[in-house]
Structure 1
Amino acid sequence: MDWVHDIFRNIHVVGGFIGLALFWIPLLSKKGSPLHKKTGKIWVWLARVVLFTAFAGVLMYIPQLQAKGHGLVSHPNSYAFILFLGYLSVITFIITIYAVDVLQHKKDISGLATPYMKLMAWLSILLSGLIVAYALILRPEMMPVLLALSPVGFTTGMGMLSYMGGKESSPRGWLYEHLGSMIGAGIAFHTAFAVFGMTRMFDIGLTGWVAVIPWILPAAIGIPASIIWRRHYQRKFKEIPA
Protein backbone atom coordinates (compact mmCIF):
# COMPACT_ATOMS: atom_id res chain seq x y z
CA MET A 1 0.00 0.00 0.00
CA ASP A 2 3.03 2.28 0.19
CA TRP A 3 2.78 3.06 -3.51
CA VAL A 4 -0.85 4.14 -3.09
CA HIS A 5 0.17 6.41 -0.23
CA ASP A 6 2.95 7.88 -2.39
CA ILE A 7 0.53 8.60 -5.23
CA PHE A 8 -1.91 10.35 -2.89
CA ARG A 9 0.94 12.31 -1.30
CA ASN A 10 2.27 13.49 -4.67
CA ILE A 11 -1.20 14.51 -5.84
CA HIS A 12 -1.72 16.33 -2.57
CA VAL A 13 1.59 18.21 -2.75
CA VAL A 14 1.21 19.26 -6.40
CA GLY A 15 -2.43 20.20 -5.95
CA GLY A 16 -1.62 22.11 -2.79
CA PHE A 17 1.05 24.25 -4.46
CA ILE A 18 -1.22 25.01 -7.41
CA GLY A 19 -4.11 25.80 -5.10
CA LEU A 20 -1.95 28.06 -2.99
CA ALA A 21 -1.17 30.26 -6.01
CA LEU A 22 -4.61 29.99 -7.63
CA PHE A 23 -6.38 31.05 -4.45
CA TRP A 24 -5.26 34.65 -4.85
CA ILE A 25 -6.78 35.13 -8.30
CA PRO A 26 -10.48 34.92 -7.34
CA LEU A 27 -9.70 36.61 -4.03
CA LEU A 28 -8.20 39.73 -5.64
CA SER A 29 -10.16 39.82 -8.92
CA LYS A 30 -13.41 41.73 -9.31
CA LYS A 31 -16.19 39.88 -7.52
CA GLY A 32 -18.68 38.37 -9.94
CA SER A 33 -16.40 38.84 -12.96
CA PRO A 34 -15.83 35.94 -15.40
CA LEU A 35 -12.25 35.62 -14.11
CA HIS A 36 -13.46 35.44 -10.52
CA LYS A 37 -16.12 32.83 -11.27
CA LYS A 38 -13.96 30.61 -13.49
CA THR A 39 -10.87 30.54 -11.29
CA GLY A 40 -13.06 30.20 -8.21
CA LYS A 41 -14.71 27.05 -9.57
CA ILE A 42 -11.36 25.58 -10.53
CA TRP A 43 -9.99 26.28 -7.07
CA VAL A 44 -12.95 24.65 -5.36
CA TRP A 45 -12.55 21.42 -7.33
CA LEU A 46 -8.80 21.48 -6.79
CA ALA A 47 -9.36 21.99 -3.06
CA ARG A 48 -11.60 18.92 -2.94
CA VAL A 49 -8.87 16.80 -4.49
CA VAL A 50 -6.25 18.16 -2.07
CA LEU A 51 -8.50 17.63 0.94
CA PHE A 52 -9.49 14.12 -0.12
CA THR A 53 -5.88 13.04 -0.58
CA ALA A 54 -4.95 14.60 2.76
CA PHE A 55 -7.71 12.76 4.62
CA ALA A 56 -6.94 9.52 2.80
CA GLY A 57 -3.30 9.88 3.81
CA VAL A 58 -4.36 10.24 7.44
CA LEU A 59 -6.44 7.07 7.28
CA MET A 60 -3.53 5.17 5.74
CA TYR A 61 -1.06 6.37 8.37
CA ILE A 62 -3.10 5.37 11.42
CA PRO A 63 -2.68 1.58 10.82
CA GLN A 64 1.09 2.15 10.63
CA LEU A 65 1.03 3.69 14.10
CA GLN A 66 -1.05 0.83 15.43
CA ALA A 67 1.34 -1.69 13.91
CA LYS A 68 4.11 -0.06 15.97
CA GLY A 69 2.06 -0.50 19.12
CA HIS A 70 1.20 3.18 19.37
CA GLY A 71 -2.29 3.52 20.81
CA LEU A 72 -4.48 6.60 20.65
CA VAL A 73 -4.32 7.04 24.43
CA SER A 74 -0.94 5.52 25.22
CA HIS A 75 0.95 7.58 22.61
CA PRO A 76 -0.86 10.92 22.26
CA ASN A 77 2.18 12.62 20.74
CA SER A 78 2.16 10.13 17.85
CA TYR A 79 -1.48 10.84 17.07
CA ALA A 80 -1.87 14.56 17.81
CA PHE A 81 -0.27 15.70 14.58
CA ILE A 82 -2.08 13.24 12.31
CA LEU A 83 -5.45 13.73 14.03
CA PHE A 84 -5.16 17.46 13.62
CA LEU A 85 -4.46 17.04 9.91
CA GLY A 86 -7.60 14.95 9.57
CA TYR A 87 -9.58 17.53 11.53
CA LEU A 88 -8.25 20.37 9.39
CA SER A 89 -9.09 18.47 6.18
CA VAL A 90 -12.70 17.83 7.21
CA ILE A 91 -13.31 21.37 8.48
CA THR A 92 -11.83 22.90 5.32
CA PHE A 93 -14.01 20.63 3.18
CA ILE A 94 -17.09 21.77 5.10
CA ILE A 95 -16.12 25.42 4.74
CA THR A 96 -15.59 24.98 0.99
CA ILE A 97 -18.90 23.27 0.22
CA TYR A 98 -20.70 25.82 2.40
CA ALA A 99 -19.11 28.73 0.54
CA VAL A 100 -20.34 27.31 -2.76
CA ASP A 101 -23.86 26.49 -1.53
CA VAL A 102 -24.25 29.99 -0.07
CA LEU A 103 -23.95 31.40 -3.58
CA GLN A 104 -26.40 28.90 -5.02
CA HIS A 105 -29.03 29.83 -2.44
CA LYS A 106 -28.33 33.52 -1.98
CA LYS A 107 -31.93 34.44 -2.87
CA ASP A 108 -33.50 31.84 -0.59
CA ILE A 109 -31.66 30.82 2.57
CA SER A 110 -34.18 28.07 3.26
CA GLY A 111 -32.79 26.14 0.29
CA LEU A 112 -29.40 26.14 1.99
CA ALA A 113 -30.67 24.78 5.31
CA THR A 114 -30.80 21.14 4.18
CA PRO A 115 -30.37 18.22 6.61
CA TYR A 116 -27.00 17.53 4.98
CA MET A 117 -25.70 21.07 5.48
CA LYS A 118 -26.97 21.17 9.06
CA LEU A 119 -25.22 17.85 9.67
CA MET A 120 -21.99 19.37 8.34
CA ALA A 121 -22.37 22.31 10.72
CA TRP A 122 -22.87 20.05 13.75
CA LEU A 123 -20.03 17.79 12.61
CA SER A 124 -17.76 20.82 12.55
CA ILE A 125 -18.73 21.69 16.13
CA LEU A 126 -18.37 18.08 17.30
CA LEU A 127 -14.89 17.68 15.81
CA SER A 128 -13.80 20.94 17.42
CA GLY A 129 -14.96 19.65 20.79
CA LEU A 130 -13.19 16.32 20.33
CA ILE A 131 -9.90 18.01 19.48
CA VAL A 132 -10.17 20.21 22.57
CA ALA A 133 -10.97 17.20 24.74
CA TYR A 134 -8.05 15.24 23.28
CA ALA A 135 -5.68 18.13 23.97
CA LEU A 136 -6.85 18.76 27.54
CA ILE A 137 -7.17 15.14 28.65
CA LEU A 138 -4.09 13.56 27.04
CA ARG A 139 -1.97 16.73 26.90
CA PRO A 140 0.24 15.97 23.88
CA GLU A 141 3.21 18.22 23.13
CA MET A 142 1.11 19.89 20.44
CA MET A 143 -1.55 20.90 22.96
CA PRO A 144 -1.04 24.70 22.50
CA VAL A 145 -1.50 24.35 18.73
CA LEU A 146 -4.56 22.13 19.09
CA LEU A 147 -6.19 24.55 21.52
CA ALA A 148 -5.29 27.59 19.42
CA LEU A 149 -6.79 26.29 16.17
CA SER A 150 -9.53 23.95 17.34
CA PRO A 151 -12.10 26.79 17.76
CA VAL A 152 -12.15 27.12 13.95
CA GLY A 153 -14.52 24.17 13.77
CA PHE A 154 -16.76 25.58 16.48
CA THR A 155 -17.01 29.05 14.99
CA THR A 156 -17.55 27.58 11.51
CA GLY A 157 -20.42 25.37 12.64
CA MET A 158 -22.08 28.04 14.76
CA GLY A 159 -21.78 30.58 11.96
CA MET A 160 -23.38 28.17 9.48
CA LEU A 161 -26.29 27.41 11.83
CA SER A 162 -26.80 31.09 12.55
CA TYR A 163 -26.93 32.04 8.88
CA MET A 164 -29.14 29.11 7.91
CA GLY A 165 -31.44 30.07 10.77
CA GLY A 166 -32.02 33.46 9.16
CA LYS A 167 -30.14 35.47 11.78
CA GLU A 168 -28.21 37.49 9.18
CA SER A 169 -30.05 40.81 8.86
CA SER A 170 -28.12 42.15 5.87
CA PRO A 171 -29.54 41.46 2.41
CA ARG A 172 -25.94 40.87 1.34
CA GLY A 173 -25.28 38.35 4.06
CA TRP A 174 -24.62 35.73 1.40
CA LEU A 175 -21.68 37.81 0.16
CA TYR A 176 -20.15 38.09 3.61
CA GLU A 177 -20.66 34.38 4.26
CA HIS A 178 -19.08 33.45 0.94
CA LEU A 179 -16.06 35.72 1.37
CA GLY A 180 -15.50 34.72 4.98
CA SER A 181 -15.73 31.02 4.15
CA MET A 182 -13.35 31.22 1.20
CA ILE A 183 -10.83 33.18 3.26
CA GLY A 184 -11.17 30.52 5.95
CA ALA A 185 -10.39 27.81 3.41
CA GLY A 186 -7.43 29.86 2.22
CA ILE A 187 -6.15 30.10 5.80
CA ALA A 188 -6.15 26.30 5.96
CA PHE A 189 -4.20 26.05 2.69
CA HIS A 190 -1.61 28.55 3.84
CA THR A 191 -1.33 26.90 7.26
CA ALA A 192 -0.56 23.57 5.60
CA PHE A 193 2.07 25.23 3.42
CA ALA A 194 3.65 27.09 6.34
CA VAL A 195 3.83 23.95 8.47
CA PHE A 196 4.79 21.34 5.88
CA GLY A 197 5.89 23.01 2.69
CA MET A 198 7.91 26.05 3.69
CA THR A 199 9.76 24.43 6.59
CA ARG A 200 10.81 21.48 4.42
CA MET A 201 11.60 23.43 1.24
CA PHE A 202 13.92 25.80 3.07
CA ASP A 203 15.02 23.29 5.72
CA ILE A 204 13.78 25.47 8.55
CA GLY A 205 14.02 23.73 11.89
CA LEU A 206 11.92 25.64 14.41
CA THR A 207 12.06 24.64 18.05
CA GLY A 208 10.44 25.83 21.26
CA TRP A 209 7.63 28.36 21.16
CA VAL A 210 8.83 29.60 17.74
CA ALA A 211 7.68 26.31 16.21
CA VAL A 212 4.08 27.38 16.84
CA ILE A 213 4.37 30.40 14.52
CA PRO A 214 3.74 28.57 11.20
CA TRP A 215 0.59 27.05 12.69
CA ILE A 216 -1.00 30.28 13.86
CA LEU A 217 0.44 32.96 11.53
CA PRO A 218 -2.00 32.40 8.60
CA ALA A 219 -4.96 32.58 10.98
CA ALA A 220 -3.50 35.60 12.76
CA ILE A 221 -3.36 37.40 9.41
CA GLY A 222 -6.41 35.90 7.70
CA ILE A 223 -9.02 36.39 10.42
CA PRO A 224 -8.43 40.16 10.83
CA ALA A 225 -8.28 40.43 7.02
CA SER A 226 -11.68 38.78 6.78
CA ILE A 227 -13.12 41.26 9.28
CA ILE A 228 -11.59 44.20 7.42
CA TRP A 229 -12.90 42.88 4.09
CA ARG A 230 -16.43 42.55 5.47
CA ARG A 231 -16.38 46.07 6.88
CA HIS A 232 -15.11 47.34 3.51
CA TYR A 233 -18.16 45.95 1.74
CA GLN A 234 -20.48 47.11 4.51
CA ARG A 235 -19.21 50.65 4.01
CA LYS A 236 -19.44 50.26 0.24
CA PHE A 237 -23.10 49.27 0.50
CA LYS A 238 -23.68 51.91 3.21
CA GLU A 239 -24.62 49.34 5.85
CA ILE A 240 -22.26 51.03 8.31
CA PRO A 241 -20.99 54.63 8.40
CA ALA A 242 -17.96 55.31 6.18
Structure 2
Amino acid sequence: MEKALIISHVVAGSATLLSGLLAAFLGKKGGWWHRLSGRVFYWSMFWVFISAILLISFVRFSAFLMVIAVFSWYMTFSGVRVLMLRKTLQPLFIDWLAACLTMAFGLFSMGLGLYYQWQYEWASVLGYLCLFFGFFTMQTGWLNFNGFRTVHKAEKMWWWFAHMNSMCGALIASITAFLVQNGRAFDLPSSMSWVPWVFPAMVGLPLVSYWANKYRKKFRVGKYAVGNN
Protein backbone atom coordinates (compact mmCIF):
# COMPACT_ATOMS: atom_id res chain seq x y z
CA MET A 1 0.00 0.00 0.00
CA GLU A 2 2.79 2.41 0.91
CA LYS A 3 4.63 1.73 -2.34
CA ALA A 4 1.47 2.20 -4.43
CA LEU A 5 0.74 5.49 -2.67
CA ILE A 6 4.25 6.79 -3.29
CA ILE A 7 4.15 5.75 -6.96
CA SER A 8 0.77 7.42 -7.46
CA HIS A 9 2.11 10.58 -5.80
CA VAL A 10 5.12 10.63 -8.13
CA VAL A 11 2.98 9.98 -11.22
CA ALA A 12 0.52 12.73 -10.26
CA GLY A 13 3.41 15.10 -9.55
CA SER A 14 4.91 14.40 -12.98
CA ALA A 15 1.51 14.94 -14.63
CA THR A 16 1.15 18.21 -12.73
CA LEU A 17 4.53 19.42 -13.88
CA LEU A 18 3.99 18.50 -17.54
CA SER A 19 0.41 19.77 -17.82
CA GLY A 20 1.30 22.99 -16.00
CA LEU A 21 4.12 23.75 -18.43
CA LEU A 22 1.89 22.94 -21.40
CA ALA A 23 -0.89 25.21 -20.08
CA ALA A 24 1.57 28.04 -19.47
CA PHE A 25 3.50 27.98 -22.72
CA LEU A 26 1.36 26.26 -25.38
CA GLY A 27 -1.99 27.17 -26.85
CA LYS A 28 -4.18 30.23 -26.64
CA LYS A 29 -5.11 31.25 -23.11
CA GLY A 30 -8.71 30.18 -22.57
CA GLY A 31 -8.61 27.96 -25.63
CA TRP A 32 -9.36 24.24 -25.86
CA TRP A 33 -5.79 23.10 -25.24
CA HIS A 34 -5.33 25.48 -22.32
CA ARG A 35 -8.54 24.28 -20.66
CA LEU A 36 -7.69 20.61 -21.19
CA SER A 37 -4.17 20.86 -19.78
CA GLY A 38 -5.58 23.02 -16.98
CA ARG A 39 -8.02 20.29 -15.98
CA VAL A 40 -5.22 17.71 -15.95
CA PHE A 41 -3.15 20.10 -13.83
CA TYR A 42 -6.01 20.65 -11.38
CA TRP A 43 -6.88 17.00 -10.79
CA SER A 44 -3.25 15.89 -10.75
CA MET A 45 -2.55 18.54 -8.12
CA PHE A 46 -5.60 17.37 -6.19
CA TRP A 47 -4.16 13.86 -5.93
CA VAL A 48 -0.70 15.22 -5.12
CA PHE A 49 -2.32 16.99 -2.17
CA ILE A 50 -4.42 14.01 -1.03
CA SER A 51 -1.58 11.51 -1.40
CA ALA A 52 0.77 13.88 0.44
CA ILE A 53 -1.63 14.10 3.38
CA LEU A 54 -1.96 10.30 3.44
CA LEU A 55 1.82 9.83 3.32
CA ILE A 56 2.35 12.35 6.09
CA SER A 57 -0.39 10.84 8.25
CA PHE A 58 0.25 7.13 7.83
CA VAL A 59 3.77 6.61 6.45
CA ARG A 60 6.17 9.28 7.67
CA PHE A 61 5.98 12.95 8.51
CA SER A 62 7.67 15.38 6.13
CA ALA A 63 7.45 19.11 6.77
CA PHE A 64 8.73 19.79 3.24
CA LEU A 65 6.01 17.66 1.65
CA MET A 66 3.31 19.13 3.88
CA VAL A 67 4.16 22.78 3.24
CA ILE A 68 4.61 22.40 -0.52
CA ALA A 69 1.46 20.28 -0.90
CA VAL A 70 -0.82 22.68 0.99
CA PHE A 71 0.60 25.80 -0.67
CA SER A 72 0.40 24.30 -4.18
CA TRP A 73 -3.10 22.94 -3.69
CA TYR A 74 -4.56 26.17 -2.34
CA MET A 75 -3.01 28.15 -5.18
CA THR A 76 -4.55 25.71 -7.66
CA PHE A 77 -7.92 25.65 -5.88
CA SER A 78 -8.17 29.44 -5.66
CA GLY A 79 -6.99 29.80 -9.26
CA VAL A 80 -9.93 27.69 -10.45
CA ARG A 81 -12.46 29.16 -8.02
CA VAL A 82 -11.80 32.67 -9.26
CA LEU A 83 -13.13 31.65 -12.68
CA MET A 84 -16.44 30.90 -10.96
CA LEU A 85 -16.37 34.10 -8.92
CA ARG A 86 -15.98 36.28 -11.99
CA LYS A 87 -19.54 35.30 -12.97
CA THR A 88 -21.28 35.43 -9.61
CA LEU A 89 -19.13 37.93 -7.68
CA GLN A 90 -20.39 36.02 -4.64
CA PRO A 91 -17.83 33.98 -2.66
CA LEU A 92 -19.22 30.77 -1.22
CA PHE A 93 -18.65 29.41 2.27
CA ILE A 94 -15.96 27.07 0.88
CA ASP A 95 -14.01 30.08 -0.40
CA TRP A 96 -14.01 31.82 2.98
CA LEU A 97 -13.22 28.60 4.82
CA ALA A 98 -10.34 27.68 2.50
CA ALA A 99 -8.82 31.15 2.84
CA CYS A 100 -9.06 31.06 6.65
CA LEU A 101 -7.59 27.56 6.90
CA THR A 102 -4.80 28.59 4.55
CA MET A 103 -3.93 31.61 6.68
CA ALA A 104 -3.92 29.43 9.80
CA PHE A 105 -1.71 26.85 8.11
CA GLY A 106 0.67 29.59 6.96
CA LEU A 107 1.06 30.78 10.54
CA PHE A 108 1.57 27.18 11.69
CA SER A 109 4.28 26.66 9.04
CA MET A 110 6.07 29.83 10.11
CA GLY A 111 5.95 28.65 13.72
CA LEU A 112 7.35 25.29 12.63
CA GLY A 113 10.11 27.08 10.77
CA LEU A 114 11.04 29.07 13.87
CA TYR A 115 11.09 25.85 15.88
CA TYR A 116 13.50 24.21 13.43
CA GLN A 117 15.71 27.29 13.45
CA TRP A 118 15.75 27.33 17.24
CA GLN A 119 16.69 23.65 17.27
CA TYR A 120 19.54 24.07 14.76
CA GLU A 121 20.67 27.61 15.64
CA TRP A 122 19.37 29.21 12.43
CA ALA A 123 21.17 26.69 10.23
CA SER A 124 18.14 24.63 9.16
CA VAL A 125 17.33 24.70 5.43
CA LEU A 126 13.98 23.12 6.26
CA GLY A 127 13.35 25.90 8.75
CA TYR A 128 13.90 28.54 6.08
CA LEU A 129 11.62 26.60 3.74
CA CYS A 130 8.82 26.59 6.33
CA LEU A 131 9.28 30.29 7.00
CA PHE A 132 9.37 31.17 3.28
CA PHE A 133 6.42 29.10 2.13
CA GLY A 134 4.56 29.69 5.39
CA PHE A 135 4.69 33.44 4.86
CA PHE A 136 3.51 33.25 1.26
CA THR A 137 0.82 30.72 2.17
CA MET A 138 -0.52 33.04 4.85
CA GLN A 139 -0.25 36.05 2.52
CA THR A 140 -2.10 34.23 -0.27
CA GLY A 141 -4.94 33.29 2.07
CA TRP A 142 -5.17 36.85 3.37
CA LEU A 143 -5.13 38.43 -0.10
CA ASN A 144 -7.96 36.16 -1.20
CA PHE A 145 -9.90 36.72 2.03
CA ASN A 146 -9.57 40.48 1.63
CA GLY A 147 -10.38 40.23 -2.06
CA PHE A 148 -13.67 38.48 -1.32
CA ARG A 149 -14.77 41.54 0.67
CA THR A 150 -14.03 43.96 -2.19
CA VAL A 151 -14.76 41.78 -5.21
CA HIS A 152 -17.54 44.13 -6.39
CA LYS A 153 -15.00 46.97 -6.59
CA ALA A 154 -12.31 45.00 -8.40
CA GLU A 155 -10.77 46.41 -11.57
CA LYS A 156 -11.62 45.12 -15.01
CA MET A 157 -10.24 41.65 -15.76
CA TRP A 158 -9.23 41.17 -12.10
CA TRP A 159 -10.09 37.49 -12.37
CA TRP A 160 -7.63 37.00 -15.24
CA PHE A 161 -4.69 38.20 -13.17
CA ALA A 162 -5.84 36.35 -10.06
CA HIS A 163 -6.13 33.13 -12.05
CA MET A 164 -2.75 33.62 -13.71
CA ASN A 165 -0.94 34.47 -10.49
CA SER A 166 -2.44 31.53 -8.59
CA MET A 167 -1.83 28.90 -11.24
CA CYS A 168 1.69 30.15 -11.99
CA GLY A 169 2.44 30.17 -8.26
CA ALA A 170 1.30 26.55 -8.02
CA LEU A 171 3.44 25.62 -11.02
CA ILE A 172 6.53 27.32 -9.55
CA ALA A 173 5.98 25.43 -6.28
CA SER A 174 5.65 22.16 -8.22
CA ILE A 175 8.88 22.78 -10.10
CA THR A 176 10.59 23.62 -6.82
CA ALA A 177 9.39 20.36 -5.28
CA PHE A 178 10.59 18.39 -8.32
CA LEU A 179 14.06 19.95 -8.29
CA VAL A 180 14.49 19.57 -4.54
CA GLN A 181 13.32 15.95 -4.51
CA ASN A 182 15.63 15.09 -7.41
CA GLY A 183 18.51 17.33 -6.40
CA ARG A 184 20.97 14.46 -6.16
CA ALA A 185 20.56 13.76 -9.86
CA PHE A 186 22.09 17.15 -10.66
CA ASP A 187 25.19 16.34 -8.60
CA LEU A 188 25.44 19.84 -7.21
CA PRO A 189 28.24 20.64 -4.74
CA SER A 190 27.15 21.28 -1.16
CA SER A 191 27.87 24.98 -1.57
CA MET A 192 25.13 25.14 -4.25
CA SER A 193 22.52 22.97 -2.53
CA TRP A 194 20.33 26.06 -2.19
CA VAL A 195 19.94 26.45 -5.98
CA PRO A 196 16.97 24.06 -6.46
CA TRP A 197 15.09 25.94 -3.74
CA VAL A 198 15.34 29.37 -5.32
CA PHE A 199 15.94 28.81 -9.04
CA PRO A 200 12.24 28.24 -10.00
CA ALA A 201 11.18 31.43 -8.21
CA MET A 202 14.10 33.43 -9.64
CA VAL A 203 13.05 32.47 -13.16
CA GLY A 204 9.30 32.15 -12.70
CA LEU A 205 8.44 35.33 -10.81
CA PRO A 206 9.97 37.71 -13.39
CA LEU A 207 8.14 35.79 -16.13
CA VAL A 208 4.83 36.12 -14.29
CA SER A 209 5.50 39.83 -13.79
CA TYR A 210 6.28 40.22 -17.50
CA TRP A 211 3.10 38.41 -18.53
CA ALA A 212 0.99 40.40 -16.07
CA ASN A 213 2.32 43.67 -17.47
CA LYS A 214 1.76 42.42 -21.02
CA TYR A 215 -1.89 41.60 -20.33
CA ARG A 216 -2.48 44.79 -18.37
CA LYS A 217 -1.37 46.67 -21.47
CA LYS A 218 -3.54 44.47 -23.68
CA PHE A 219 -6.64 44.90 -21.48
CA ARG A 220 -5.84 48.56 -20.75
CA VAL A 221 -6.04 48.26 -16.98
CA GLY A 222 -3.92 49.70 -14.17
CA LYS A 223 -1.39 52.20 -15.47
CA TYR A 224 -2.52 51.44 -19.01
CA ALA A 225 -6.15 52.41 -18.36
CA VAL A 226 -7.49 55.02 -20.73
CA GLY A 227 -7.89 57.60 -17.96
CA ASN A 228 -4.20 57.22 -17.02
CA ASN A 229 -2.82 57.85 -20.50
For normalisation by structure 1, the TM-score amounts to: 0.81
More off after superposition, 169-178 vs 45-54: 45-54
Structure 1 unaligned spans of 5+: 63-78
Q: CA deviation at 1:127?
A: 1.4
The equivalent position to 1:9 in structure 2, one of 6, 11, 24, is 6
Q: CA deviation at 1:204?
A: 2.4
User: Residues 46-195 of structure 1 correspond to what in structure 2 (within 5 A)?
Assistant: 46-62=44-60, 82-110=62-90, 113-139=91-117, 140=120, 141=124, 142-166=126-150, 169-195=154-180
- Whether the aligned pair in 2 keeps the contact of 1:145 and 1:212 (CA below 8 Å) is no
Letter in 2 for 1:52: I
What is the rounded CA distance, in whole Å, between the counterparts of 2:24 and 2:162 in structure 1? 14
- Whether the aligned pair in 2 keeps the contact of 1:149 and 1:216 (CA below 8 Å) is no
Residues 122-156 of structure 1, C-alpha deviation per residue, up to 9 Å, x if partnerless?
11111111121122234242222322332220221
The residue matched to 2:187 in structure 1 has which SS?
A: coil
Hey, what does 1:70 align to over in structure 2? none
Q: CA deviation at 1:216?
A: 2.1
What is the rounded CA distance, in whole Å, between the counterparts of 1:203 and 1:222 in structure 2? 20
For normalisation by structure 2, the TM-score amounts to: 0.85
Q: CA deviation at 1:230?
A: 1.3
Which has more helix, going by share of residues?
Answer: 2
Q: CA deviation at 1:114?
A: 1.8
- Whether the aligned pair in 2 keeps the contact of 1:84 and 1:131 (CA below 8 Å) is no
The equivalent position to 1:30 in structure 2, one of 14, 28, 31, is 28
Letter in 1 for 2:207: A
Q: CA deviation at 1:205?
A: 5.2
Q: CA deviation at 1:183?
A: 0.3
Task: Could you list the structure 1 runs, at least 4 aligned residues long, displaced by more than 6 angstroms after superposition.
Answer: none
**What RMSD in Å do the two structures reach over aligned CA positions?**
2.0
Letter in 1 for 2:135: P
The residue matched to 1:132 in structure 2 has which SS?
A: helix
Identity of aligned residues (%): 24
Structure 2 unaligned spans of 5+: none
Report the CA distance shift for 1:211/1:166 in structure 2 as closer, same or farther (over 3 A). Answer: same
